[in-house]
Amino acid sequence: MSDSPGKLKLGALVALVVGSMIGGGIFSLPQNMAASAGVGAVLIGWAITAVGMLTLAFVFQTLANRKPDLDGGVYAYAKAGFGDYMGFSSAWGYWISAWLGNVGYFVLLFSTLGYFFPIFGEGNTPAAVIGASILLWSVHFLVLRGIKEAAFINLVTTVAKVVPLALFALICLFAFKLDIFTADIWGEGSPDLGSVMDQVRNMMLVTVWVFIGIEGASIFSSRAEKRADVGKATVIGFITVLLFLVLVNVLSLGVMTQPELAKLQNPSMAAVLEHVVGHWGAVLISVGLIISLLGALLSWVLLCAEIMFAAAKDHTMPEFLRRENANHVPANALWLTNAMVQIFLVITLFSNSTYLSLIYLATSMILVPYLWSAAYAVLLAMRSETYEQALAERKKDLVIGGIALLYAIWLLYAGGVKYLLLSALLYAPGAILFAKAKREVGQPIFTNVEKLIFAAVVVGALVAAYGLYDGFLTL
C-alpha cells in the first residue's frame, strides 16, 4: 500500500460512479423498456427520470459539500436528519439492494455466456450457479487485496465497457428509421401495455435500476483525495451515463418496432445490433456486457462492504463489521455480503426469479435511502443550517431538494404495494443487528417514534410473509 492508503482521485471516483451505474441494465434496456412502454411513454419517462435523477445527483453534490464531516453518503444523511434507526435502515436497505443487484448481475452474466455455451441456459441452471459461485469468491479475494487496487481495475473495465456502447450508438444512428420510430407512438397497437400513465409508471422502475450507483462517489467520500471531487464525480458520472442510456433506448426504437423489441431475449442490445450488422454485432455486445458485468460486480462488492463499514464505524452497525484487514479492507463486511450473494444464487436454482424480478426488488430496497437523502437536503435548507451567509443558494437548494423528494415519493408509488411489502420483509430482520449495535454502546434500542416505525415495518413484513405463503404475492 502507498503512504496514503486508498485515497481516490477524481478519475477513480468518476469511474466508480459510471462503473456502478453501467452494469447489466443498459444492455437489456431495449427489451426492458419496450416490454413496458411505447415510444411516447418512453420519452416522457426519460424526461421525468432525467429531471428527478439530476436533482438527486445535485442533492448528493450539495450534501457532500455542505456536510463534509458525514462519511458514507446515503446512510449518514438519513442518520443525521432522522435518527439512528432511519440511518440504520438506510444502510441496511442500501446494502441489501446492492448485493441483490449482484445476484441479478450473475444471472445476467451467465445468461449472456449461455449465448455461447448453452449449458448456462438463462443464467439459473446448476452449471451457471457453480460458475457464478467460483467467480463470486474470485472477486471476493481480489477485493481483500485492497480498495485502491480494486478501484484501479474498475477504472480499466469502465473504459473497456464504454467502447462497445459508443460503437452501438454510432451504428444505430446510421440505421435509424423515423417511420419505424413514429409507427405507433402511444403503444395503441399493443393493448397489454395499458394507458400512457401506466406505461410511464411501469418503465420508471427500470430507469431507476439503470441509475442506481449515482451515489457511488458519496459512499466513498472518506476515501476521496479531495472532498470537492465527490460532488463533481457524481454529476460528471450522471450526465455521461444519462447520455448513453437515452441513446441506446431511443435509437433502438428506430431500428426495430416496439413489439419486436419486447420479444427479444436479453441482453437485447446484442439482438438489435445483430439485426443491423449481422452476427458479429451480437458477439461484440456480448463481450462488452461480460466485461461490463465483471466491472460492475467489482464496484458493487466494494460499495456493499463500504456502506456496512461506514455504519459500523459510528456504532449504527455492530462492532464486528468495523474490522479491517492489513490492506484497509473491511473484511468482515465483505464476508457477510458475499455469503448472502452465495445463498441467493442457490435460491435462484429453485425459484423462477429472473433477472427482472431481482432487479425490481433491489430497486425498491434502494428507494428508501434515496428518499431520506433528499428529505435531509430539504431539512437543511428549511432550517438554514450551513446556509447562514448564502440565502440565494438556500432557496435554490430547497427547490432542487423538493423536486428530488417528490421524485423519490413518486418512485415508491411507481414501485407499487407488492414491492413495498417485500421490502418490509427484508427490512424487518435488520433490527437484530441494530439492537446488537445499540447494546454494545449501552443505549436503549428504539426511541418512541422509532418503535412506531418498526411496528409498521413488522406489520408489512407479516403481510408479505403471509402473501408469499398464500400465493397472492410472488417473487
Cα gap 184→207, rounded to integer Å:
22
pLDDT above 50 for 15: yes
Q: What's residue 354's pLDDT?
A: 65
For cell 442500501, name the residue: 94
Q: What's residue 231's pLDDT?
A: 85
- 224 three-state secondary structure: strand
171-175, 201-205, 460-464, range with the lowest pLDDT: 201-205
pLDDT above 80 for 136: yes
Q: What's residue 271's pLDDT?
A: 93
- 299 three-state secondary structure: helix
Cα gap 326→172, rounded to integer Å:
49
pLDDT exceeding 70 applies to what percent of the chain? 97
Mean pLDDT of 362-385: 91
| Residue 76 · residue 338 · CB < 8 Å | no
Could you tell me which residues are beta bridge partners of residue 224? Answer: 8
Structure confidence at residue 78 as a pLDDT band (50, 70, 90): very high
DSSP code per residue over 268-279: HHHHHHHHHH-H
The CA distances from residue 125 to 35, 134, 406, in Å, are: 24, 14, 41
Cα gap 311→278, rounded to integer Å:
50
Cα gap 33→231, rounded to integer Å:
30
Q: What's residue 261's pLDDT?
A: 95
Structure confidence at residue 355 as a pLDDT band (50, 70, 90): low
pLDDT above 60 for 142: yes
Could you read off the pLDDT of 319-338 as tens digits, one per residue?
A: 999 999 998 889 999 999 99
CA gyration radius, the chain: 22
For residue 335 the three cell numbers come to 464476508
For residue 352 the three cell numbers come to 423462477
Q: What's residue 2's pLDDT?
A: 38
CA atoms in the 13 A half-sphere facing the CB of 317: 27
Q: What's residue 417's pLDDT?
A: 85
Structure confidence at residue 11 as a pLDDT band (50, 70, 90): confident
Please report which residue ranges of 67-83 form alpha helices under DSSP H. Answer: 74-82
For residue 386 the three cell numbers come to 450551513
Q: What does pLDDT average to over the chain?
A: 88
Cα gap 250→426, rounded to integer Å:
35
pLDDT above 60 for 143: yes
Cα gap 243→269, rounded to integer Å:
16
Q: What's residue 269's pLDDT?
A: 94
Could you read off the pLDDT of 277-317 as tens digits, one per residue?
A: 999 999 999 988 888 888 888 878 888 888 899 889 989 99
In terms of Cα–Cα distance, which of 219, 116, 240 is closest to 169? Answer: 240
Q: What's residue 8's pLDDT?
A: 84
Q: What's residue 3's pLDDT?
A: 41
Q: What's residue 352's pLDDT?
A: 64
Max Cα-Cα span within the chain: 68
pTM for the model stands at 0.86
171-175, 188-192, 383-387, range with the lowest pLDDT: 188-192
Cα gap 152→12, rounded to integer Å:
7
Structure confidence at residue 1 as a pLDDT band (50, 70, 90): very low
Cα gap 419→351, rounded to integer Å:
17
Higher confidence at residue 269 or residue 392? 269
